[in-house]
Amino acid sequence: MTEVLSYKYATEYRFSYDDAFREERGLAALDSETGASLCKYCCGKMHAAFRSKPKKSVIGQQYPTNYSVDECLSCGWWRVDESTGSDSMGLFISRTVGELRRYDTSSISIPLDELRSHLRSNPKDLAWVNPTKFEKLMAACLRDAYSPCEVRHVGGSGDGGVDIILVTSSSEKYLVQVKRRADLSKKEGVSAVRELNGVLFREGECKGIVITTASGFTKSAKSETNIKTPTVGVYKVDLFDIADVVRLLGLDARPNKKPWELFVDDESAGFHYDSDEVGRYIIRT
Supply the pLDDT for residue 185: 97
- DSSP E strands in 52-184: the ranges are 63-72, 78-86, 90-104, 149-153, 164-168, 173-179
CA distances from residue 137 to 2, 249, 267 in whole angstroms, order as listed:
17, 9, 27
Residues linked to residue 207 through DSSP beta bridges, in sequence order:
236
Highest mean pLDDT among 93-107, 154-168, 214-228: 214-228
Supply the pLDDT for residue 284: 40
Can you tell me the mean pLDDT for 116-123? 92
Confidence band (pLDDT; 50, 70, 90) for 155? confident
Say what percent of the chain tops pLDDT 70. Answer: 76
Supply the pLDDT for residue 282: 45
pLDDT tens digits for range 231-266: 678 899 999 999 999 999 998 756 667 778 877 765
Rounded (5°) CA angle 66-71-72: 165
Supply the pLDDT for residue 96: 85
Nearest Cα to Cα of residue 42 among 76, 8, 3: 76
69 with 264: CB under 8 angstroms?
Answer: yes
> Rounded to an integer, what distance in angstroms lies between the CA atom of residue 217 and that of residue 240?
9
Can you tell me the mean pLDDT for 17-27? 55
> Rounded to an integer, what distance in angstroms lies between the CA atom of residue 85 and that of residue 87?
7
Supply the pLDDT for residue 220: 97
**Residue 77 pLDDT > 80:** yes
Can you tell me the mean pLDDT for 263-276? 49
Can you tell me the mean pLDDT for 111-117? 90
| Structural domains present in the chain | 3-104+256-283 (no CATH), 114-249 (3.40.1350.10)
Q: What is the CA radius of gyration of the chain?
A: 25
**Residue 56 pLDDT > 80:** no
**Residue 31 pLDDT > 70:** no
Q: Within 13 Å, how many C-alpha atoms sit on residue 253's CB side?
A: 9
Alpha helices in 122-162 (DSSP H): 131-145
pLDDT tens digits for range 227-237: 877 767 889 99
Q: What rounded mean pLDDT belongs to the chain?
A: 82
